[in-house]
Chains A and B, each alone.
Chain A
Amino acid sequence: MTDAAPDSALATTSGPDPAPGSVPGPGPVLEVRDLTVTFRVDDGHAPDVHAVRGVSFDVLPGEVLAVVGESGSGKSVTSLALLGLLGRHATVGGSARLGGAGREPVELIGLERRALQDVRGRRVAMVFQDSAGALDPVFTVGFQLDEMLRRHAPDLTRAQRRERAVELLRLVELPDPAERLRFYPHQFSGGQAQRVMIAMALACDPEVLLADEPTTALDVTVQREVLDVLRRLRERVSTSIVLITHDMGVVADLADRVVVMRGGEVVETAPVRQLFAAPRAAYTRELLAAVPRIGTPDRPSGADGAERPALAFENLVVEYRDRRGRAVRAVDGVTLAVQPGEIVALVGESGSGKSSMGRCALGLAPVTSGSVEVVGTRPGHDTPKAVRAARARIGVVFQNPAASLNPRYSIGESVAEPLRVHAGLRGPELERRTAELLESVELPASWVSRYPHELSGGQLQRVSIARAISLGPDLLIADEPTSALDVSVQATVLELFRQVQQSLGFACLFISHDLAVVDELADRVAVLHQGRLVESGPRARVLGQPEQDYTRRLLAAAPVPDPEAQAARRVAAAC
């Protein structure tokens, strides 16, 4: 179901009408003016960091205001500053006036601790990214809701609190809410846990709900479920939502107005349709252009039709033992081959077994039955020596570049490691090759002696790629190589990846959850669901005319970065 009303109301630039269900009020609920946040670094020995430099925006009654920006733009710091959650190294300046219709206005910045605690949860609530981590695992959800109500609404009786708790869970559309009160957090799925968090945040009818990347950690289909709940919530409660996100698809789906931030400053503020249709700031245009979209034209495949695949899974089954010793099947009879020179994307949600397959190819996961053949060797059958030798012909790029490089190695040492160990290079020859590799991923060769903590995520992922291609691999396994990166960085890293692949011509198993990224890069796509291969085939066919329901669901769940198209999809989905 969808509501068309706010869309028409909020397409105007100034003072949109309040959305349905909101308390009609004259002014904004939250008025942020010239907010600044400065962090003292290293007790004043290092220069101060100005994380937020004079940010102003209004939150109108009943609206969803999206604050978008890449990492380091100050969007999260802004929200934390509003609630006084920044700790003692931060100095917050400016003003943030909270005051919904019929409620006492209060200045949040510089508020003393006691008064601030009273505002938190009761008038401004917050939902974080990691919902499972934010719920206390040893108490039932009912108890935690009850505690929240007891703290902020002491005049309710026990029965009233229970009633309210049930009502809240119903509000976020959990089935059998009365029953669910007795559940512990681990009994909920990720999406349900996030919905419980939202219910908890709404317990005291706050004027503003700050949602910091509320769906970022979730799979697309689960994200869809949470976004739907948030969207329908607006018809039922008067709370304004400040949605902090980096995902333009989510913005297009949910937001009424958008604040674009960069480097601690507001670059542009506009209603959502206007922002996507006619972005005024150059940065907004860049940001929108960098978002990958499905529907790239056909391109020739790099596969050279050799008879022997670079990587072949034959009826692969992978089982792990859980804590009680029971076998859990992560991969369930998958057959898949990657030909030399082609990029095969392995797509699926978390728990689909896609990472397990990648790990199997690297010999990091146990093969329960079936077989894996990597660049001509079969781990588990051939001698460990032969398998290790084969590793020299496989490159790996992991998801989190900051964690996959040894923090004690300079980046030069990291890149040189395979050359040193497998190729036995030493001295000036090694230095020359290392410098060449860094230059081939567009990093200055003089950076060899820098350490990982001195580089940004995108630069580190370039280092990872340099390390992976250092021996001219026959096969490259990339496990979500861009999902920890900002969109603009992701775009450049993907571009680099494509160039490198074309010049070196290696086969590649590209593991990803992001269909748009896959669409830009892959020759063939294989969709996994709960350990089984759902569908595989050429990219244009699988993503263009999917044969299986699950693939269609996956495609439909990912929000497209276009409010018009997204609204149309919602209408289509509702029918």
Chain B
Amino acid sequence: MSEPLPAAPAAAGSTAASAAAAAPATAPAVARRGVWRTLRRRALFWVSAAVLAVLGLVALVPSAFAGWFGHPDPRACDLASSAQPPGGGHVLGTDVQGCDVWANVVFGTRASLTVGLLCTAVALAVALVVGTLAGYYGGWLDRVVARLTDVFLGFPFLLGAVVVLTSVGSRSAVSVALVLALFSWPTMARLVRGSVRTVRDAPYVEAARAMGLPDRRIIARYVLPNALGPVLAVATIMVGSVIVAESTLTFLGLGLNAPSISWGLQLSSAQSYFQTSPHMLVAPATVLTVTVLAMITLGDVLRDVLDPRGRS
């Protein structure tokens, strides 16, 4: 049902093709307006895509990056060299256990990205389905969703996650992501519902209904593409907040299990030493910020380019 994103570029591509067939004279003008052609002219797209590609690579093969400065093993810690500032063999210094910060940041990428992206993707998927149905059809489903989201919103997010996680036996990045998604989809669903409702009564949707189009097509081609903008913006921001939420849970001993490595864990262990050794906080905080910024920028650029009005 929800194929809005792929639909837009595909549609643009097909018209470009049809226009080229119908009137070859205008072909260059049409091709200029394609999604990819516009996208590749945006410097911001390349910057954010490159950042995310590097992060993805790091997450896949951390061992290839960890050893660059001579300390490839994040778990080889030397308590004697605890909390050393950057310099010498430890390019980013060491943490309070004497572990190399660089290696930890590199190895933490996988867990953090998994939690952030998976949780957002699951929450977004559920929210899109539920929110769209509630927003488009209204009625009892809408009332149920509204009350349900009220309950979830009134319930402290972390407390809920704590309760569920204590009852979950083995905890991995995937299970943590799913639990976080369980508690974050209602906010998103509410957003989707509101956004869909504003579009639902737009004259072009009414025109589509008057044409006798099936609901599936109206939702997929008329409602969702026009309602997704604000939702995607929030989803990209959510990736960051989920990564931080994972760190809080882990700090409480409820997130990833003890020997795990994640940015969140580093952040939470570093914050108590912030005044004496700020370097322990700076490194994971920076990568987290860069990740979130890259996500947001990419989301922004994509939203802009997928909207015909944003294409030059």
Contact = CB atoms under 8 A, between A and B. Distances in A.
A392 interface: yes
Interface string B254-297: 00000000000000000000000000000000000000000000
A404 B206 contact: yes
A407 B226 contact: yes
Given A403-B202, A435-B22, A410 B210 contact: no
Contact of A394 (B11, B210, B309): B210
Interface stretch (A177-185, A283-291, A294-302, A443-451): A443-451
A391 B212 contact: yes
Contact of A396 (B23, B211, B214): B211
A409 B26 CA distance: 18
B22 A453 contact: no
Contacts of B217: 421
A134 B8 CA distance: 39
Interface of B is mostly: helix
B148 to A, nearest CB: 24
Contacts of B15: 410, 412-413, 448-449
Contact of A451 (B16, B22, B309): B309
Contact of A406 (B30, B222, B309): B222
A412 B30 CA distance: 13
A421 B308 CA distance: 23
Contacts of B110: none
B25 interface: yes
A362 B210 contact: yes
A235 interface: no
Contacts of B203: 398-400, 403-404
B50 interface: no
Contacts of A399: 203
B208 to A, nearest CB: 7
Nearest to B308: A451
A87 interface: no
Nearest to A400: B203
B206 A364 contact: yes
Interface size class of B (residues with CB under 8 A): 20 to 34
A325 interface: no
A345 B219 CA distance: 33
Query: Which of B11, B23, B203, B212 counts the most A-chain CB atoms under 10 A from its CB?
Result: B212
Query: Which of A403, A449, A477 counts the most B-chain CB atoms under 10 A from its CB?
Result: A449
A452 B206 CA distance: 17
B209 interface: yes
A428 B25 CA distance: 18
B213 interface: yes
A364 B210 contact: yes
Nearest to B4: A408
A165 B23 CA distance: 65
Query: Which of B8, B33, B203, B209 counts the most A-chain CB atoms under 10 A from its CB?
Result: B203
B32 to A, nearest CB: 10
Nearest to A387: B212
Nearest to B207: A404
A475 B79 CA distance: 85
A434 B12 CA distance: 16
A408 B22 contact: no
A477 B207 CA distance: 11
B34 to A, nearest CB: 10
Contact of A407 (B23, B207, B308): B308
Nearest to B306: A408
A406 B226 CA distance: 8
Interface string B191-213: 00000000000111011111111
A405 B207 contact: yes
B308 A448 contact: no
A446 B206 contact: no
Contact of A388 (B12, B21, B212, B309): B212
B190 interface: no
A446 B8 contact: no
Contacts of A389: 212
Interface in A318-371: 362-364
A475 to B, nearest CB: 12
Given A412-B18, A431-B18, A446-B26, A396 B12 contact: no
A403 B204 contact: yes
Contacts of B214: 388, 421
A453 B212 contact: no
Given A404-B207, A407-B309, A428 B21 contact: yes
Given A406-B226, A407-B308, A421-B217, A446 B19 contact: yes
B131 interface: no
A435 B22 CA distance: 8
Interface string A398-431: 1110011111111011000110011000001011
17 contacts: A362-B209, A391-B211, A394-B210, A398-B203, A398-B206, A404-B204, A404-B207, A407-B308, A408-B225, A408-B307, A412-B15, A413-B15, A421-B212, A422-B211, A449-B30, A449-B33, A467-B211
